[in-house]
A and B are shown apart, each in its own frame.
Chain A
């Protein structure tokens, strides 16, 4: 009787959740159509702030997908085999994240009909060219890595057993894919920071550590999201099964990784304090004292790094599932806040080109409704894909161990469920 009621309740919440996501997707779709039809003129983007909310979503979803390459490298290259089921979750999240990034870029570019130019026409000097190449290749790697996961779909298995067997077989190449994924991700995760870091017209960005900070925050945020999403799924549905001790160890790693991240962030900020270069000091002030100061001090530094670092390094809070999840969510929020703040603090400060010492003026940006609507749509797409994955593809099943793959011998693949 009770079990019956519970089943009813969970199926009802599932429907409600889908309806909610469907609503957001509809808003997103409507906004997207409006944007393609009317053009970017209906956004609040300007010539002074040409990149806004969508670029933040793009950068954040790529950064938060970094769990895929980090954990795959840990499992298949470093040999931490026990994390393999978690790497599986991370890979699926990565595939979703990169798709979200592509979607938000399609909204953002002025000529979405020419998106393919990015692959066909090359300017090898452009950081964005390099990022495009890496992202396209890495998306291919992710699709291959996710093949064995998608092969879990019952309907597909029953309908095309040969195809799913082939898809599962891709897992044999996991170590090679992990190498490719590691190289490509190291390149573009840091290059996305360098995209900003090479612009000498924007003194606040123009520094070598942009690449390093983007890379670091991506690894920390990506692993955090993987653990958080797994734990949340296990809380809301019996279909998700986690191995809590594995996730606790990973969370411990995140706690330690936050230490050097905070160290680099602190020096990044301290080193800029006394340069007094026009534009740079002002950019820093926009972040530390100006309109972005709450984001910076609270979302990025306090809640994004210091508090989760303490919560995840302290054994009692780390073992407490609530505090662990809270800490990981804070890290994720901190990475998103970092992308938003970095993008804006460079644009809000306008350095004049007039003769003499460059003077500084300020501009402002707040996303328009249609930007927020389309952004919500992209996020809802990610949540829908993950929810479906948990329900139908056993994406979060940390008892799951795949067949051995390091010996490439072409045995008949078999799935072992512990």
Chain B
């Protein structure tokens, strides 16, 4: 009897160690994978110039059409924040595509993830709809599909045509920097931020050119140059999320120039 007892104990021990070893290796591997800083060839960023933004909401409408977003959902929200020198000042808020994104960190199934180029992506087929990401996002950038979006999209065709699949009921969705436009554009040899066909819809739609898009790895890109020469800030920088959306604060001088010209 004691023989059986020993072997059973040994077996249990072995099993436990084996399971722990497998889990441990996997943990270490995953930790390494996600702690490494983004290494992609491109690092996309958006610059929004508050001196130029007039709060017309064209960006929101173009976004809704190109990404086929339901009327009650907003991936891009424009808010009036105050006045400078007699001019209204607005702020447009897409997804910030944080370098240390709280939504990616908390997602239990890894449905929110980083691309090499820094875009924070949603895998709508993986998501189970627990909404932990909504609780974690400091920018309220995520909207949940409480209902199924059925019927006509009122922004189509006036503001563009849908380029991505509609999301199902029961998953949260958010701005993707129009990754599909970037990817298709790059494959055609275009430059995102320069060529319209490779640039996010909101940037194209902006009538005052308040939005710029480009590659931070490219020193000659418009975003790199403007961030070098202008004062800029990021939203909730105190949280150290490392957002990829930069804002140029409203400058009354620039706003006056615009009016004069």
Contact = CB atoms under 8 A, between A and B. Distances in A.
A117 B126 contact: yes
B143 A351 contact: no
B140 A110 contact: no
A159 interface: no
Interface in A95-135: 108-111, 114-115, 117-118, 121-129, 132
Contacts of A50: 131, 134-135, 144
B108 A355 contact: no
**Which of B30, B111, B135, B145: most chain A Cβ within 10 A?**
B135
A150 to B, nearest CB: 23
B164 to A, nearest CB: 19
B235 interface: yes
Contacts of B91: 354-355
Interface string B127-165: 111111011111110111111100000000000000000
Interface in B168-195: 168-172
Interface string B210-244: 00000000000000000000000101100100000
B208 interface: no
Contact of A128 (B5, B108, B134, B235): B108
A314 to B, nearest CB: 42
A125 B136 contact: no
Contacts of A358: 236
Interface residues of A, number: 45
Contact of B108 (A123, A176, A346, A354): A123
A202 B108 contact: no
A126 B105 contact: yes
A115 B132 contact: no
Given A47-B134, A122-B110, A358-B236, 10 more contacts: A39-B169, A40-B144, A110-B127, A123-B110, A124-B26, A128-B130, A199-B106, A201-B135, A354-B79, A354-B235
Interface of A: 39-41, 43, 45, 47-48, 50-51, 108-111, 114-115, 117-118, 121-129, 132, 176, 195, 198-202, 346-347, 350-351, 353-355, 358, 408-410
A124 B102 CA distance: 14
Nearest to B12: A176
Nearest to A114: B128
Most buried by B among A118, A121, A347: A121
Nearest to B130: A109
A122 B134 contact: no
A196 B75 CA distance: 25
Contacts of A195: 132
Contacts of A176: 12
Given A108-B130, A117-B109, A354-B81, A47 B1 contact: no
A129 B144 CA distance: 20
Closest A-B pairs by Cβ, 9 of them = A110-B129, A110-B170, A201-B138, A50-B131, A128-B108, A123-B110, A41-B146, A121-B109, A41-B147
B22 interface: no
A45 B135 CA distance: 12
Contact of A111 (B34, B138, B146, B170): B170
B171 A123 contact: no
A122 B4 contact: no
B139 A353 contact: yes
Contact of B135 (A108, A111, A118, A199): A199
Contacts of A408: 5
A interface, over-half SS: loop
A132 B138 contact: no
B144 A110 contact: yes
A347 B135 CA distance: 8
Nearest to A129: B108
A200 B135 CA distance: 10
Contacts of B144: 40, 47, 50, 110
Nearest to A195: B132
Contacts of B93: 353
Interface string B1-44: 10011000000100000000000001100110010000000000
A47 B129 contact: no
Contact of A202 (B111, B135, B143): B135
A47 B142 contact: yes
A51 B235 contact: no
Most buried by A among B93, B137, B144, B171: B144
A409 to B, nearest CB: 6
A354 B78 CA distance: 11
Given A355-B247, A410-B4, A128 B129 contact: no
Contacts of B26: 122, 124
B35 to A, nearest CB: 9
B173 to A, nearest CB: 11
Nearest to B234: A355
A149 B182 CA distance: 61
Interface in B33-59: 34
30 contacts: A39-B147, A39-B169, A40-B144, A41-B147, A43-B146, A47-B142, A47-B144, A50-B134, A50-B144, A109-B128, A110-B145, A110-B170, A111-B129, A114-B126, A117-B128, A118-B108, A121-B109, A122-B26, A122-B110, A123-B30, A123-B110, A125-B31, A125-B105, A129-B109, A198-B105, A346-B135, A353-B93, A353-B139, A353-B235, A354-B235
A41 B105 CA distance: 27
Contacts of B235: 353-355
Contacts of A111: 127-129, 168, 170-171
B107 interface: yes
A123 B107 contact: yes
A206 to B, nearest CB: 10
Nearest to B123: A121
Contacts of B34: 125
Given A50-B131, A118-B128, A126-B107, A355 B137 contact: no
